[in-house]
Structure 1
């Protein structure tokens, strides 16, 4: 039995762009943001002093942000072995953070699920209903 493949940035890109009515900014290359109907659901964040390396104090330069439900956030950041985290800046926001360098701790399937869930949180209800109905056999 083969081991699941570790996730990559390409998996995020492919998962996001496979969803209905998603735009990517910039269209290629760079540190992207993905949106549906103008609502961003996943993005690569610029360095900020609120997310920093505890060893060096330097701001992380590779933070990825994914929208989620409050329940999912609690479960994802509540596990001490999880690569997901949050910062005080994100208190009150339904989003989780992940360092690009920790992406390989997740499988491609796990990343696809998180990206899809992020899209479901931000997409218009009509569009989410249509998408979920299209997946039914």
Structure 2
């Protein structure tokens, strides 16, 4: 079960990533564009869960390419990935860290990074990962 320290370590492996703080919560960004952030639930979020208990552990938000990609991620069946009404119409998904595997987290961060990173950085990262036999973000 990854922690935010693990998120930071994985994110900071991605070229040009910087860690920051927005609204009192950690963010990970490249070129000034945030692609992942700590996402605690607001009182309004919790109220919208109604009688269903919200996840009690840490939650990360990650960008996705577009709403079609968001639907694909959610339809893939990994119950660590979910959304809430606040994210309706927004190209991002939430990740319950207590339920996600490290490989799935790494892939989600790489995909989110690739959504906002400069195209040349993404291409260089893909070349490096392919040469080393690693996976990698799609362009």
TM-score range, shorter chain: 0.7 to 0.9
Kindly provide the CA deviation profile for residues 31-80 of structure 1, in whole angstroms up to 9, marking residues without a partner as x: 3100000000000135434422433888x794421001334311232356
> Does the 8 A contact of 1:43 with 1:65 survive in 2?
yes
TM-score w.r.t. the length of structure 1 is 0.75
Normalising by structure 2, we get a TM-score of 0.74
How many residue pairs get aligned? The number is 126
Whether the 8 Å contact between 1:42 and 1:67 is mirrored in structure 2 is yes
Within the alignment, does 1:11 sit opposite 2:3 as a pair? no
Aligned CA RMSD, in angstroms, stands at 2.8
Unaligned runs of 5+ in 2: 132-139
Where does structure 1 lack aligned partners over 5 or more consecutive residues?
A: 1-5
Q: Given that residues 2 and 102 in structure 2 are in contact (C-alpha distance below 8 angstroms), is that contact kept between their aligned partners in structure 1?
A: yes
Aligned structure 1 segments of 4 or more residues deviating by more than 4 angstroms: none
